[in-house]
């Protein structure tokens, strides 16, 4: 049975750690899909810390874009932890700055389709970037809007959506109004 679970929150909220804990509770091996690229020393350090925190028996797939292609290589019923949608959208935006929206829309649609096609437990980590200041620059506003819409599309298909604040996950579907629950 396909399941989609979303962990969202601000920077350093603990969402990745909570998503990893959730994945471990699934009781079998996990495929960790990493979208980050080590473009500088600071990002390399972040990636190293994430790797060290993960169980050694988890398989890691590097997929900065075209995540659905990677998912379609997996066995049916696999548990997948995608960390993170935030960088996936950023990677697509930077590859298609002139017109990123159709590429982001296609990536999200294909990601959801692959989850259902392969009966995956798909755990998605994403930053909540819409609660802060409006970015001063056009590219920043584009990014905020693209990520917000992408996260909404995945969350509306999700069985569970956790907002992580100060390391504490709160399940939002339990709090949602009846008209906003997954059908």
Cβ neighbours around 132 below 10 Å, total = 10
* Three-state secondary structure call for residue 170: strand
Residues in CB range of 135: below 8 A, 6 or more apart: 141, 143, 144
Active-site entry in 28, 44, 50, 96? 50
User: What tokens appear for 52 in the block?
Assistant: 């060290």
44 is catalytic: no
d(CA 133, CA 114): 34
Running DSSP on this structure, what letter comes out for residue 134? P
Q: Which residues are catalytic?
A: 50
């Amino acid at each position: 049975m396909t399941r989609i679970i979303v962990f969202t929150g601000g920077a350093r909220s603990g969402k990745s750690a909570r998503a990893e804990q959730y994945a471990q509770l699934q009781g079998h091996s996990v495929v960790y899909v990493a979208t980050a690229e080590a473009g500088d020393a600071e990002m390399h350090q972040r990636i190293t810390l994430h790797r060290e925190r993960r169980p050694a028996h988890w398989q890691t797939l590097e997929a900065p874009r075209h995540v659905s292609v990677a998912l379609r290589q997996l066995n049916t019923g696999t548990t997948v932890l995608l960390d993170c949608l935030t960088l996936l959208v950023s990677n697509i935006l930077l590859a298609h700055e002139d017109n990123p929206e159709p590429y982001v829309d296609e990536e999200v649609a294909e990601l959801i389709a692959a989850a259902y096609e392969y009966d995956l437990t798909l755990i998605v980590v994403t930053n909540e970037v819409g609660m802060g200041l409006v970015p001063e620059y056009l590219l920043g506003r584009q990014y905020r809007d693209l990520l917000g819409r992408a996260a909404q599309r995945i969350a509306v298909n999700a069985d569970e959506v956790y907002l992580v604040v100060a390391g504490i996950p709160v399940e939002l579907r339990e709090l949602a109004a009846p008209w906003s629950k997954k059908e």
